[in-house]
Amino acid sequence: MNQLEQLRSLTTVVADTGDIAAIQQLQPTEATTNPSLILQASQLPQYQALLLDACRAHPDSIAAISEQVTVNFGAEILKHIPGRVSTEIDARLSFDCAASVAKAHSIIARYAAKGIDKSRVLIKLAATWPGIQAAAELEQQGIACNLTLVFSLAQAKACADANVTLISPFVGRILDWYKKQQPNTDFSGASDPGVQSVRQIYQHYKSHGIGTVVMGASFRNIDQIRQLAGCDLLTIAPDLLNQLQAAAAPLPRHLQPDVVRAPAAATPLTEAEFLWQLNEDAMACEKLAEGIRKFAVDQIKLEQLLQQLQQKL
């Protein structure tokens, strides 16, 4: 078996893309999208019909058009995968719990209008305190959530306290930060700080019997992926999936779900404890803020693209 086939025997493989053609080719179990990926896919000529459909359905609201576009892509992706698609809410709502909940319900309603049950959708929210509390409320209402931009154990613990379905710790962006701080340090293999972060979170969850699952994300190279073989899920960009498909060496399991159970987890983190622990982690604090800003920038670019398209109709 090639390494992609070996990985599939250990881990649920998820495609990190809005490119439907790539999903058809690589046949992942699930798929994740975000504002940046939707923006990239929206500029490809083969997907213009998905944009035009949204523009015609909502001629008076760019916000509604943009939201419909993300659902249109998600619905199309779901035709080609057996599992779920992750659809992200507007990053500008990352610090507004009530608005995040309302936006999630709006997205789920748009999927329902296309005949897609909420069980096939994961609502993605940034793992800020308000985002996590929004996810807690949504999970209680039967809407599964994917908490993204996870860079620290404190975020992971708060997500577990909220009983969220899934978290996405970011491997590559953690490595980026450390390489910038320590350019002469060897961060290869098991020394990669992004790999170490995911392993720490995974072991914490498994040792405490936490039901939230871990989906490693944001990979810079296939060695990071290999180091996390055995993780619950891994969401991987098409170019890295292709590299794994072309590799034939044995792929050992590195993460084991059967670990010695630790004593019961501590009492849930309070907001003050969460914010302090996050503040004490310079990398996590900086990368969370940066990630939200970047997604917001691409959300605005998508809206501008849609506005230009709408003016031509």
**Quick one: which of 167, 150, 174, 172 has its CA closest to 219?**
172
The per-residue pLDDT for 265 is 65
Q: Residue 111's domain is classified under what CATH number? A: 3.20.20.70
Please list the residues that pair with 87 across neighbouring strands. Answer: 123
Instruction: Give the H or E element holding residue 175.
Output: helix 171-181
Q: Convert the pLDDT of each residue in 37-96 to its tens digit.
A: 999 999 999 999 999 999 999 988 999 999 999 999 999 999 999 999 999 999 999 999
DSSP 186-245: ---GGG-HHHHHHHHHHHHHHHTT---EEEEB--SSHHHHHHTTTSSEEEE-HHHHHHHH
Provide the 10 A C-beta neighbour count for residue 43: 12
Q: Provide the annotated active-site residues.
A: 124
* Its pTM surpasses 0.75: yes
Residue span of the structural domain in which 177 resides: 3-312
Q: Which helix H or strand E contains 31, and what residues bound it?
A: strand 30-32
Q: pLDDT below 70 — which residues of the chain? A: 263-265
- Domain count across the chain: 1
pLDDT at 259 (0 to 100) = 74
